[in-house]
Amino acid sequence: MADYDPNNPFAKILSGELPSHKVYEDAKVLAFMDIMPRADGHILVIPKARARNILDATPEDLGYLVGVVQTLAKAVKKAMKCDGLTVQQFNEEAGGQVVFHLHFHIVPRMAGVPLRPQTGEMEKPEVLTANAEKIRAALGA
């Protein structure tokens, strides 16, 4: 397995070098809007600890992270008024991982509506801001 790259985009978000539309943050976890969402309300949840993927995360960090993923999934479902959710987590290039910092995708789903294709197009910042606000409000409710 390759080593953790401290210059990956999510490490740069954690250090403040890259901006993000934050949804949730605590001492161990950060959640933010995916800038190329497959559906409105698509968020990413990452540990603050360095972990390339699930294969090298500590069991303690992973357990905590999954608990936050569940809490955020409930908030996303409520905020986006969706029928269901897809939660995804990829490991290594052959497993579909593109950014090599452990992360979970929480993607709102509506019955009969396919995921948007991955085109590389970024969502408008005002849409990301509005969706982040909805999810934060659902967390507080």
Structure tokens at 32: 């933010």
Cβ neighbors of 115 (< 8 A, separation 6 or more) are 38, 39, 86, 107, 109
Report pLDDT digits (tens) over 78-130: 999 999 999 999 999 999 999 999 999 999 999 999 999 999 999 999 999 99
Which pLDDT belongs to residue 135?
Answer: 98
Which pLDDT belongs to residue 2?
Answer: 76
pTM for the full predicted model: 0.96
Computed on alpha carbons and rounded to an integer, the radius of gyration of the chain in Å comes to 14
Smallest CA-to-CA distance from 74 within 87, 59, 60, 61 is with 87
> Across the beta sheet with 22-25, what order do the strands follow?
22-25, 29-33, 43-47, 104-109, 84-88
Which domains, from first to last, does the chain contain?
Answer: 9-110+120-140 (3.30.428.10)
Measured CA to CA, the distance from residue 68 to residue 14 in angstroms comes to 17
Report pLDDT digits (tens) over 29-48: 999 999 999 999 999 999 99
Q: Strand 43-47 to strand 104-109: parallel, antiparallel, or no bridges (unpaired)?
A: antiparallel
Measured CA to CA, the distance from residue 94 to residue 75 in angstroms comes to 31
- The catalytic site residues sit at 103
